[in-house]
Amino acid sequence: MKKEFIWWIVFGSGIVISFGLAFVFRETQKNYFNKIKMEHHSLHSNLKKLKDDLAFMNNNHEQLNFLMEKGWFIPKNRLIGGEILEELQGSLNEIRYTFEPENIKMIKEISFKVTAIVIEVGAVLENDIYNFIDQLLEKFPGILIPRELMFVREQKVNEKNLHALRQNEFPNFIKGKLVFDWVAMDDENDKK
């Protein structure tokens, strides 16, 4: 009886130890599996994100280059802007421009760095001003958003003016005031 009891104890201890070891084995393997699964999931997500980013870069390559050239990320110097304005004067009789101080402006809940540029022009024909606007929107080293354009017929066509034209002195039949917003991305958006 005593011997049987000892056998029960020994066998029972063996089974309990085996159960404990089996349980530890299962938990160890479960933890390892969870760790591997998480790592796999993390790597998979990481790769997917990288692939998305690469696809974004490939699809928006031209646009990003355009924005880079236009100083969307880092606005270009005003001196460069002024120089371009003068280069674009072309057939305009006169051009005067003012770069106002930079402001932060909210458009559709997004903040932008905005510099108002006020340009006063004088020309013989309004087409000269339209061409200037067209060229300016294309070639200005920044993103320009037209805010206000004012054209006024200044002088009447008369003999005096025609005589002046004959002398290559171009009267300002049309005067214009052009107001543009020079817009660049605000760094604060990234921090949000």
Binding residues for another protein, rule: CB under 8 A, are: 1, 3, 8, 11-12, 15-16, 18-19, 21-23, 25-26, 28-30, 32-33, 36-37, 39-40, 43-44, 46-47, 50-51, 53-54, 56-57, 60, 63-64, 67, 72-73, 107-108, 110, 112, 130, 133-134, 137, 143, 145-153, 183, 185, 189-190
H helical segments located in 122-187: 126-139, 159-166
Q: Which is nearer to another protein, 82 or 146 (CB)?
A: 146
In this structure, what token pair is assigned to residue 168?
A: 């290559």
Q: Which is nearer to another protein, 60 or 98 (CB)?
A: 60
In this structure, what token pair is assigned to residue 56?
A: 């974004």
Give me the least distance between CB of 96 and another protein, in Å please: 19
| CA distances (Å), origin 45, targets 56, 79, 93, 147 | 16, 46, 61, 44
Which residues, at least 6 apart from 89, have a Cβ–Cβ distance to it below 8 Å? 95, 132
Query: Which parts of the chain are beta strand (E)?
Result: 94-99, 103-107, 110-123, 143-153, 174-185
Give me the least distance between CB of 19 and another protein, in Å please: 4
Q: Which is nearer to another protein, 57 or 162 (CB)?
A: 57
